[in-house]
Amino acid sequence: MFLAHLLREAGVDAVVLEQRSRAYVEGRVRAGVLEDGTVQLMARLGLAERLGREGLVHRGVNLASENGLLRIDFAALTGRGITVYGQQEVMKDLFDAAEARGLEVVFEAAEVAPHAIDGDAPFVTWRKGGAEHRLDCDFVVGCDGSHGVSRAAIPPAALTVYERNYPFGWLGVLADVPPAGPELIYCNHARGFALASMRSATRSRYYVQCGLDESPDAWPEARFWDELTLRMGPAGAGVTRGAAVETTFAPLRSFVAEPMRFGRLLLAGDAAHIVPPTGAKGLNLAVADVVLLAEALTEHYAGRSGAGLDAYSSRALARVWKAERFSWQLTRLTHRFPGDDPIERKLQLAELDYLATSQAAQTAFAENYVGLPQT
């Protein structure tokens, strides 16, 4: 949807195919942290009116451990911050503006399939309302996630895949209670990781690390709240308990498929790469991808130059790998890995102590968290 708005701004026609209904997309709770660059892009596209009213601007983040509570001051170190505003809210804004601007979005498009992507005349087919539809186009952009049809349409021999599956996951609870604090709190505890996050001033999102073999059914609400507050240490005093609106379990994974282009098919977002949620990079990486892609497609149509499209994959991957590195680094810093010996715990605490005493280390952390340049 961001790409469609960017292309419309440049006078390039695009059609968006969405497998689900609009109500489903707007109702599913996903990412909630927007990098500064994503916020600026929404403002540039005229999509930030509600974001400006309802988004929660955070000028720092907190790391809790037995060393104490460390706050990284984004504003002082980088002059920027992040904004908490749910992905489903972003989608509502994108869809509302699409209607007003005449952008074509086909909801509930079933059996979507790209064809002839290695030639000069690609096309896409789908089914809706009992009929088959076809769209002839110049390019197909796969924004359909890790399990979508786009990347699967590329011959396996044409892709190099890098993957790491983590030996734990996040059990998450969404509850209509005030947040534990005004900013996110990442917790490193001997029993495992915890995160205190939020979606609004009255809705909180909490996570605890647990094993891949653990069922959410083994975590009644009382156990979850007890474990969360224990792992948060003194910061847990700010937790307000309440009934879960939603309980989720998410395994953690790092994944990159290179290159992000095959013929007339271009990949963006989760179709090409996955990061652990620790660094809050997934949504923001997808946005950064399409900023580059819109620039390349605009250049193609304005000057018939293919240079931007030829460079798209390498430019996008340069940022992707830095985000993969940061997400891995923060995951390693805050989680307990099976088989870790006592030295690993000491190394984590030493790294946290170094962060607490080094402005250079804090600046590097802050630069990565608020978002590296999109272009």
Q: Give catalytic residues, as residue numbers.
A: 58, 186, 277, 281, 369
Long-range contacts of 106-112 (CB under 8 A, 24+ apart): 106/15, 106/16, 106/17, 106/18, 106/133, 107/18, 107/20, 107/21, 107/22, 108/18, 108/19, 108/20, 108/21, 109/17, 109/18, 109/19, 109/133, 110/19, 112/17, 112/19, 112/144, 112/149
The Cα 245–Cα 124 span in angstroms is: 38
Alpha-helix residue ranges (DSSP H) falling in 304-373: 307-334, 342-357, 359-370
Nearest Cα to Cα of residue 268 among 326, 322, 319, 306: 319
Residue entry with tokens 């419309």: 8
Nearest Cα to Cα of residue 301 among 97, 160, 137: 137
Amino acid in position 178: P
> Quick one: DSSP state of residue 250?
E
Q: Beta strand pairing status for 265-267 and 140-142?
A: parallel
Q: Do residues 371 and 284 lie in contact, with contact meaning Cβ atoms separated by under 8 Å? A: yes
What are 262's strand-pairing partners? 265
Q: In residues, how long is the chain?
A: 375
The Cα 330–Cα 279 span in angstroms is: 7
